[in-house]
A and B are shown apart, each in its own frame.
Chain A
Amino acid sequence: MDANSIISSLTGKFPEDIYDADIESDIRVIAKVKPENVVEVCRYLKEDLSFGHLCCEFGADYPDRNEIEVIYVIGSYDHPVVLTMKAILPRDAPEVESVVPVYWNANWYERETYELFGVKYLNHPNLKPLVLPQEMLGEWPLRKDYEGFPNKTARNLV
């Protein structure tokens, strides 16, 4: 299965949900997805296009566009193509459906994106902070306008 057939199969199945699909190289494919239908697209990718390996899932903050992107990087055990799929969310109320029912290991990725970016995942089995203490929830430290960075409390700065 090569990049061309993957793109045509994906856009053929979801003509309204997948847009800006592009082929970067033989093994890299990029596409954008409507956030409402992420789970169906992921299920199709896993079951029919053998994209069984979720490499990672994370957020990226774009304050000038007032958007937060949730990026899914999905690889495969059977073919070398890696798909980068982006769901674009509004920055003031980012909400997206959780893909844990499809990709089991998305659990921690989503918990981490939740506490670092404030992206709320609907129907997530256990949405609570992973790497930060509970009292830091709500600061969203990886957003670009976070004020606690750089931390200036070190006494003996050079």
Chain B
Amino acid sequence: MDETVGPSEMIVHLGPQHPMMPGPFRLNAKLRGETVVDSEVEMGWIHKGIEKILESKTYLQGITIVDRICYLAAMTNEEAYVGSVEKLAGIEVPERAQYIRVIMEELSRLQSHLLGMGEYASFVGFVSMFMYTIRDREDVMSLIDSVTGARVTHSFLRYGGVKDDLPDGFKDDVEYVFGNLKKAIDNYEELYSTDQIYKARTKGIGVLTADVAKDLGVSGPPLRATGVAFDIRKDEPYLVYKDLDFKVCTQTDGDVYARIQVRLDEMRESMYIIEQCLDQIPSGPIFPEDTPYGKRSPVMRVPAGEVFHRVEDPRGEMGFYMVSDGSDKPYRVKIRGPVYPTLQTLPPLIKGVTVADIVAIAGSMDTCTSEVDR
């Protein structure tokens, strides 16, 4: 960004601590009157050096670290890490464990969308919506808690399986929670679609067209809101997603309203996937039989090689590039987070809008700063 200011121009720094920010980042916006003419994002306020730390941890210790890349999607981070090691080492996951993983990842997606949507609603001045979504999110959190024993950072996946089987009566709990949640989501949609002020603030704001979004490297709900049905679960199926029936939710407008609508639809699809899984889940072991996986403290050595494994995060495409040199620690791990390109698109997207719209656009992108900084 050019730092020189002309007549009737000023530079406003939003952040690193700002009510609009879900995590610390800084937006330097150059304003002329109330219009943004230029802007720049500064990152790195919570850069922790996870890629370096992972190089000094054994494969089993690494699972707890990757949880903390993005705290709202801990389960999909683990899936990407564990999945890439399993690809390198050639470990087959039993079918029951795969179903449990899918259930937990979709629950994770549900709670992430609920929090992201609520937070966004509070940014555009709809604070009561935040209260509603957090209320319903706590029910989902208690479901996750009952399986993994933790609310945010689970460390639940293991190489070749999962830590624990589903508890007794889990299906009944899920039915009860989802009964409430379905009504709640219909309720949110009604609230969003009938509020004239809300619609005036979001329709036609921050429009991203399909060509531009592809060019900028966006993935996840912001891309699907432009009409591109790009979903790793369909395009490059992992786990048992190819056996499950679900559709990729898309909208065509590409504005703030459409992104939220995509998230609402995705939550319904997630619930549908979990219900299917609970119906179809076979009985059996949760670790491959006659192997050391699942026993106490296996020292793993992974054959040398390189792999790129990607999964669908609540925010888009999450990938791990892993280089192994045959020892018990990874040689190099690169984390490809979904928000990294999405946050880069903020400066071109807010060019020409008014200051009040910055929060709506940034909030609808559902940025998770911790994952950008790592």
Contacts and interface: CB of A to CB of B under 8 A. Distances in A.
Interface of A: 27-28, 30, 52-56, 58, 60-61, 71, 73, 77, 80, 82, 84, 103-105, 107-109, 129-133, 141-142, 146, 149-150
A104 B236 CA distance: 24
8 smallest beta-carbon distances between A and B, as pairs: A131-B44, A105-B217, A56-B336, A131-B47, A105-B341, A58-B334, A60-B332, A130-B43
Given A107-B344, A130-B44, A142 B52 contact: yes
Q: Secondary structure of the B side of the interface?
A: mixed
Nearest to B332: A60
Contact of B214 (A27, A52, A132): A52
Contacts of A54: 217
A104 B216 contact: yes
Interface string B302-331: 000010101000000101010100000001
B308 A105 contact: no
A141 B321 contact: no
B188 interface: no
A103 B216 CA distance: 8
B216 A105 contact: yes
5 contacts: A58-B321, A84-B308, A108-B341, A131-B47, A149-B52
Nearest to A129: B44
Contacts of B56: 149-150
A109 B49 CA distance: 15
B365 interface: no
B319 A56 contact: yes
B72 to A, nearest CB: 20
B344 A105 contact: yes
Contact of B230 (A55, A77, A149): A77
Contacts of A105: 216-217, 340-341, 344
Contacts of A60: 323, 331-332, 334
B265 interface: no
Contacts of B341: 105, 108
Nearest to B48: A131
B249 interface: no
Contacts of A104: 215-217
A108 B52 CA distance: 18
Given A28-B308, A55-B336, A77 B214 contact: yes
Contacts of B319: 55-56, 73
Given A71-B321, A105-B341, A109-B340, 10 more contacts: A28-B308, A52-B214, A53-B217, A55-B336, A60-B332, A80-B235, A84-B321, A104-B216, A131-B374, A141-B52
Interface string B338-353: 0011001000000000
Contact of B308 (A73, A129, A149): A73
A105 B336 CA distance: 12
A52 B344 CA distance: 17
Contacts of B373: 131
A40 to B, nearest CB: 19
Contacts of A77: 214, 228, 230
Interface string B252-269: 000000000000000000
A56 B219 CA distance: 13
Contacts of A27: 236
A109 B332 CA distance: 16
Contacts of B310: 55, 82
Nearest to B1: A126
